[in-house]
Amino acid sequence: MKKAVIYASTTGNTEAMANAVAEGVKESGAELVFAQASEADAAEVASCDVIILGSPAMGDEVLEDSMEDFYAGLEPSLSSKKVAVFGSYDWGDGQWLRTWTERLSAAGAVVLNGEGLKAQLTPDEAALAECKELGKIS
Ligand SMILES: Cc1cc2nc3c(=O)[nH]c(=O)nc-3n(C[C@H](O)[C@H](O)[C@H](O)COP(=O)(O)O)c2cc1C
């Protein structure tokens, strides 16, 4: 089992979530591919059994730019792939993650975690525990 955790983060909040997700992946015994969206290899990510993507809410409820670019490149390879999403936000209600899961479903992906896992600003201990659990998903 190989799991990818790919994220973007501007001030470290989604990065903290990604680190906790990665811990969960390792605890689950899976092989981990871990990278920032700006550095990630879409072909390698597409070859993973589970793909976990993180982005903060930016602009007006959209993905951070480097994740948007990475995701646009990955999207054509997502048919029947298992994907989960997470990220940090502030004032919204999670619309950016709902839009993302809709895009994933439209691309034929199997979304593993409903409308996504969100944490307001810096993830607290409870949020980090949820992130760690997310890493164990399959
Ligand atoms: C330019 C900008 C746009 C943002 N847009 C939204 C938004 O549409 N909805 C929201 O809930 N939060 C929005 N935020 C808040 C960020 O999502 C929040 O600060 C988050 O914790 C950043 O996570 P990061 O440290 O991983 O980048 C925005 C922040 C900035 C700087």
Radius of gyration of the chain (CA): 13
Q: Looking at residue 70, what is its pLDDT?
A: 98
Q: Looking at residue 138, what is its pLDDT?
A: 93
- 62 CB within 6 A, ligand 1: no
Q: What is the per-residue pLDDT across 125-138, written as a single tens digit (0 to 9) for each?
A: 999 999 999 999 99
Residue with the nearest Cα to atom 16 of ligand 1?
A: 89
Q: How far is the CA of 104 from the centre of ligand 1 (A)?
A: 21
Chunked mean pLDDT (size 10), the chain, 138 residues: 98 98 98 98 98 98 98 98 98 98 98 98 98 97
* Distance, CA of 75 to CA of 31 (rounded, Å): 22
Mutate which of 13, 21, 66, 90 for ligand 1? The one with the most ligand atoms within 8 Å of its CB, which is 90
Asked if 40 contacts 52 with a C-beta cutoff of 8 angstroms, the reply is no
Asked if 10 contacts 58 with a C-beta cutoff of 8 angstroms, the reply is yes
| DSSP tag of 115 | T
- 24 CB within 6 A, ligand 1: no
Q: Looking at residue 130, what is its pLDDT?
A: 98
* Distance, CA of 34 to CA of 13 (rounded, Å): 16
All structural domains of the chain, each given as residue ranges with its CATH number in brackets, are 2-135 (3.40.50.360)
Q: What is the per-residue pLDDT across 65-79, written as a single tens digit (0 to 9) for each?
A: 999 999 999 999 999
Q: How far is the CA of 44 from the centre of ligand 1 (A)?
A: 28
